[in-house]
Amino acid sequence: SPALLGELALDEVLRQLRGFLQRRLGGLPRAQLGSGSGRRAFRLLDELQRIQGAIDAGANPNRQLLLDSLMSQFQREMVGDTIDQ
């Protein structure tokens, strides 16, 4: 939940979100990896990896803005999953 994520260190939030997406992708049948659901999950995973890379390179993003943005992206992308299925 967003409230619980707000209590974690940013690296841990990113790790948790990546784990969620990787489990979601791992549970999809191979044929669905290229579907809307799979593409959305891969797009979010790419964004998380880009953010982690920027942080590792020294970026210091505003934590709350970043969390709000990520939660908005997850809600927007994952809502499509419920429509696709």
**pLDDT tens string 6-46:** 688 899 999 999 999 999 899 989 988 888 888 999 999 99
Confidence of residue 81 (pLDDT cuts 50, 70, 90): low
Give burial (CB, 10 Å; 0-12/13-18/19+) of 79.
exposed
Confidence of residue 76 (pLDDT cuts 50, 70, 90): confident
Q: What pTM does this model have?
A: 0.80
